[in-house]
């Protein structure tokens, strides 16, 4: 058992490979919708027997070396050695070349090679770089960039007082070693994966397994998984490491396409899903706007429609499978199953009765359901299994994927409501529907028992155990009903002459392995450039190529091509280590510069493209919320797990799309654990330019609007955090007001308050105390006081309320919302 391939077992291929029969997931008769989503969990399954989960694989250790099939597909075996020649002269398609280190005047500024490349153009322009930022500002900056939260005052003083020559190295290593690093980096990758916990469109169903992919990404960054391997796992983990659950979860990258389960046009759905995946891959890994070539040849880049559909062909056989049992159950699975079992037990009788009703009409009901699909979908649906081609197989799997017991009950409803017009209409059907409907109402009473989040299954993208793929065509005007020439999987000709090396496996076409290996190859001119540029953008607010997802002709050219190539080349040389890339940047003089305004720079380089000054940056939505949580001392520091639903304003109107978590600990988790409901962006983050999960989100824009001010100033939740922060300040600083102000500034800004600030704040307190007192004199006695106070603090409630307002106001200030 241990040696069996995890996927092979699931697809029931165990027998074909080892001579033993194995139980397997029945892909075509076990509707995923019925088992994948807690909302419909255990309502039985539509067309056939109970799901028989395969015996969990006990181990996910690497496959035995004697397994030929897998060995053939190991990335090393497929490593491409041939030098690539390129047809287009576009700069980004040329091979990455290690640039020579430039000659410089001020060599002492150069701490890492990065600095040499930054300094050269500055010297050419007669500019000097800025002096180092003071240490406190630096540690706040670096912690926000690496972790996504502000540092504690202790972390700040620890660094400021570190007199050892390796203080900066120690800081960088400490930051990169913390799991918080993975959480922060994962968030930006999830933007690119269009990560969501729901399907989008009108129904916006929950996708209960996606958090496993989120955790996979966090772990990948924390373990410093080589970026090349990270790519291969996400694009072809199922083909390359079929025994490895992590690799299967990684394919969730492709599973985040927006979807509408009730679509009646399965053929169109397949096309749209494939389009979404292709466009995302092109944009994210290659920095190419390939989607521009879907309807016509690319207007700027030498990417033809043929290239585009050849790229789509790599994904032609790819299906979403949401019911793969978790091999090794952990706490999350056990908790979920225990909760689900309670609901199942409580509702067993009702569900059995419903199933019994459906059983009496299962056949006509399934036929009725199938008839709702449009002409070309129906052709595949009503074909006997023996006649299915690869496309039919895809469509029928999709049908099973979206069919649940309720879809069959629709037959009873529709026939009943026809009031005699349907040929099957009879008093019995009417009675059955009435009974079924009544049972559904009864079932609703147990809603609260159901686990709102979590799962014990995996969502992955695989090829359903088959190696033959449906044909792909160039489509006239991008219309899937207007097929032109058939195409085979191929890389864009303008980028490479190389041809994909496709070796089908027993359970998959092998196409994506070929694609993943090409993308992850050290000779691919785009992959490393695109990634290092994204990381650079995170630190400096602007990419070396400003259009981070467009390295094509219409995109911006690199402001510093040598720097870009140095970073890319070095990244590959360092084994695609993302942490080493971050470390190099963190330790550079370029990153250490002060952000103080310089008139000479403003004149000579007004957009600061040359980076003679460090660019200050507004915090991203999650950095704001998570830092407020850290400041208030309320952050729930737990890594990973199912997504959570913190409270939302009462007038949001999200209904059952946002059922607030029952466990109050969930309220204060880091923002990347907040459930991503595509139709209900979490309001606290929304106005601060959080990523839209509708498609790959390349850049966090900065816009400034009054809605942001309203959110931060008026949200009861934020205000409560300010009360907690006020309490923390008093606990830590005692009753001395100047000491309190210093402590507040240390927590929020990593520095003490200046005399002029103290002066302003002290004056405010004195006056504000009167304002609060006047309010209470009007008969409104309740005031907001600091919370979480320890010991017997003797506070004047009026003065304390004034202090809460002070704290709340300071958290709203520019210095908090920016990192300088």
Partner 1 sequence: MNNQSRRDFLLKTGYGLGGLALSGLVPGAGFSGGGFLSSAMAADLVDPLTPKQPHFPGKVKSVIWLHQHGAPSTLDLYDYKPELVKLAGQEVPASFLKGIKTSTQGGLGKLYASNRTWKQYGQSGAWFSDLVPNIAQHADNIAFIKSSVTVGATHDISILKLNSGGLNPGRPSLGAWVQYALGSANPDLPAYVVLYNGKKEPSGGAVNWSAGFLPAVYQGTAFRSGKSPILYLERPELTAASQQNDNLKLLKQLNELKGLAYPEDTELQARIRAYDLAERMQTSAPEAVDLSKESDATKALYGLNDEITKEYGTNLLRARRLVERGVRFIQVVTGPVDIDGDDRDWDAHTKLEENHGKHAKIVDKPIAGLLTDLKSLGLLDSTLVVWTSEFGRTSWGESGTGRDHNAWGYTQWLAGGGVKAGTTYGSTDEIGLQVADKSQAVDTYDLHATVLNQMGLDHLKLIYKYQGRSERPTVVYGKVIKELIA
Determine phi and psi for 84, rounding to 5 degrees: -95, 140
Helix (H) or strand (E) holding 475: strand 472-475
CB of 793 to partner 1, least distance (A): 20
Pick between residue 72 and residue 417 the one whose CB is nearest to partner 1.
417
Token pair in block for residue 492: 């864009």
Helix (H) or strand (E) holding 483: strand 483-487
Alpha-carbon gap, residue 370 to 231, rounded angstroms: 38
Alpha-carbon gap, residue 239 to 248, rounded angstroms: 9
Pick between residue 360 and residue 709 the one whose CB is nearest to partner 1.
709
CB of 377 to partner 1, least distance (A): 9
CB of 353 to partner 1, least distance (A): 20
CB 196 within 8 A of CB 551: no
CB of 69 to partner 1, least distance (A): 36
Pick between residue 390 and residue 801 the one whose CB is nearest to partner 1.
801
CB of 805 to partner 1, least distance (A): 5
Token pair in block for residue 599: 């008139």
CB of 19 to partner 1, least distance (A): 45
* 819 three-class SS: strand
CB 723 within 8 A of CB 785: yes
Pick between residue 211 and residue 373 the one whose CB is nearest to partner 1.
373
CB of 335 to partner 1, least distance (A): 29
CA angle 97, 100, 106 (to 5 degrees): 140
CB of 265 to partner 1, least distance (A): 6
Pick between residue 458 and residue 810 the one whose CB is nearest to partner 1.
810
Token pair in block for residue 529: 């450039």
Pick between residue 653 and residue 734 the one whose CB is nearest to partner 1.
653
Q: Quote the radius of gyration of the chain (alpha carbons, Å).
A: 29
Pick between residue 171 and residue 320 the one whose CB is nearest to partner 1.
320
Pick between residue 59 and residue 715 the one whose CB is nearest to partner 1.
715
Q: How far is CA 813 from the centre of its chain?
A: 29
Closest CA to 518 of 550, 546, 492, 554: 492
Q: How many CB atoms lie within 10 A of CB 802?
A: 22
Alpha-carbon gap, residue 738 to 762, rounded angstroms: 8
Alpha-carbon gap, residue 749 to 180, rounded angstroms: 20
CB of 721 to partner 1, least distance (A): 11
Alpha-carbon gap, residue 432 to 350, rounded angstroms: 14
Looking only at the bridges linking them, the beta strands covering 472-475 and 483-487 are antiparallel
Pick between residue 324 and residue 718 the one whose CB is nearest to partner 1.
718
CB 800 within 8 A of CB 722: no
Bridge partners (DSSP) listed for residue 132: 593
CB of 368 to partner 1, least distance (A): 6
CB of 554 to partner 1, least distance (A): 3
Pick between residue 222 and residue 723 the one whose CB is nearest to partner 1.
723
Token pair in block for residue 82: 């041939």
CB 593 within 8 A of CB 614: yes
Pick between residue 416 and residue 560 the one whose CB is nearest to partner 1.
416
Alpha-carbon gap, residue 343 to 673, rounded angstroms: 25
């Amino acid at each position: 058992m241990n040696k069996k391939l995890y996927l092979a077992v699931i697809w029931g291929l165990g027998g074909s490979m080892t001579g033993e029969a194995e139980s397997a997931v029945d892909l075509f008769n076990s509707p995923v919708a019925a088992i994948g989503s807690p909302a419909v969990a255990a309502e039985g399954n539509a067309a056939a027997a109970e799901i028989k989960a395969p015996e969990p694989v006990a181990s996910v250790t690497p496959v035995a070396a004697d397994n030929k099939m897998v060995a053939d597909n190991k990335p090393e075996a497929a490593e491409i050695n041939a030098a690539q020649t390129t047809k287009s002269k576009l700069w980004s398609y040329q091979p990455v070349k290690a640039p020579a280190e430039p000659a410089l005047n001020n060599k002492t500024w150069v701490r890492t090679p990065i600095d040499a490349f930054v300094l050269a153009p500055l010297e050419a322009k007669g500019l000097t770089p800025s002096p180092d930022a003071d240490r406190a500002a630096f540690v706040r900056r670096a912690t926000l960039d690496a972790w996504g939260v502000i540092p504690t005052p202790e972390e700040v003083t620890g660094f400021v007082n570190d007199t050892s020559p390796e203080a900066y190295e120690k800081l960088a290593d400490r930051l990169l070693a913390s799991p918080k690093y993975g959480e922060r980096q994962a968030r930006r990758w999830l933007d690119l994966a269009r990560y969501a916990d729901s399907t989008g469109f009108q129904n916006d169903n929950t996708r209960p397994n996606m958090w496993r992919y989120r955790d996979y990404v966090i772990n990948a960054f924390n373990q410093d998984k080589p970026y090349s391997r990270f790519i291969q796992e996400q694009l072809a983990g199922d083909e390359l490491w079929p025994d490895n659950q992590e690799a299967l979860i990684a394919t969730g990258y492709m599973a985040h396409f927006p979807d509408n389960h009730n679509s009646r046009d399965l053929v169109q759905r397949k096309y749209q899903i494939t389009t979404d995946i292709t466009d995302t891959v092109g944009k994210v890994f290659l920095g190419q706007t390939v989607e521009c070539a879907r309807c016509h040849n690319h207007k700027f880049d030498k990417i033809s429609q043929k290239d585009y559909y050849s790229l789509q062909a790599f994904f032609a056989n790819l299906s979403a499978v949401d019911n793969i049992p978790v091999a090794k159950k952990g706490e999350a699975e056990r908790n979920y199953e225990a909760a689900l079992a309670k609901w199942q037990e409580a509702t067993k009788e009702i569900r059995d009765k419903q199933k019994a009703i459906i059983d009496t009409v299962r056949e006509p009901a399934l036929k009725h359901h199938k008839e709702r699909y449009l002409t070309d979908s129906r052709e595949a649906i009503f074909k006997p299994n023996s006649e299915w081609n690869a496309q039919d197989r895809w469509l029928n799997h999709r049908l099973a994927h979206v069919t649940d017991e309720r879809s069959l009950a629709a037959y009873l409803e529709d026939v009943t409501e026809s009031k005699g017009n349907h040929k099957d209409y009879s008093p019995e059907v009417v009675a059955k529907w009435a009974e079924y409907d009544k049972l559904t109402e009864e079932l609703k009473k147990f809603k609260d028992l159901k686990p709102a989040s979590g799962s014990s299954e995996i969502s992955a993208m695989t090829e359903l155990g088959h190696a033959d793929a449906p044909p792909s065509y160039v489509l006239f005007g991008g219309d899937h009903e207007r097929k032109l020439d058939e195409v085979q999987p191929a890389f864009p000709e303008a980028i490479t002459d190389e041809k994909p090396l496709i070796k089908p496996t027993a359970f998959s076409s092998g196409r994506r392995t070929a694609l993943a290996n090409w993308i992850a190859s050290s000779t691919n001119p785009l992959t490393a450039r695109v990634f290092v540029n994204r990381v650079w953008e995170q630190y400096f607010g602007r990419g070396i190529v400003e259009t981070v997802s467009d390295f094509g002709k219409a995109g911006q050219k690199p402001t510093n091509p040598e720097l870009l190539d140095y970073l890319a080349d070095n990244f590959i040389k360092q084994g695609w280590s993302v942490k080493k890339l971050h470390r190099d940047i963190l330790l550079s003089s370029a990153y250490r510069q002060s952000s103080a305004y310089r008139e000479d720079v403003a004149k000579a380089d007004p957009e600061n493209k040359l980076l003679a000054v460090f660019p200050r940056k507004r915090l991203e939505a999650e950095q704001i919320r998570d830092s407020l949580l850290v400041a208030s001392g309320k952050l729930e520091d737990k890594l990973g797990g199912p997504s959570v639903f913190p409270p939302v304003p009462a007038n949001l109107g999200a209904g059952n799309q946002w059922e607030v978590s029952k466990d109050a600990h969930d309220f204060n988790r880091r923002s990347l654990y907040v459930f991503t409901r595509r139709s209900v962006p979490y309001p606290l983050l929304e106005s601060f330019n959080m990523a839209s999960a509708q498609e790959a989100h390349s850049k966090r824009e900065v816009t400034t609007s009054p809605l942001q001010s309203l959110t931060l100033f008026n949200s009861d939740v934020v205000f409560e955090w300010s009360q907690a922060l006020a309490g923390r300040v008093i606990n830590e600083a005692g009753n001395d007001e100047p000491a309190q102000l210093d402590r507040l500034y240390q927590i929020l800004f990593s520095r003490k308050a200046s005399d002029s600030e103290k002066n302003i704040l002290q004056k405010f307190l004195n006056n504000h105390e009167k304002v609060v007192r006047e309010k209470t004199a009007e008969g409104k006695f309740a005031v907001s006081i600091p919370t979480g106070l320890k010991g017997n603090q003797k506070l004047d409630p009026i003065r304390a309320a004034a202090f809460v307002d002070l704290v709340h106001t300071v958290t709203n200030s520019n210095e908090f919302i920016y990192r300088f």
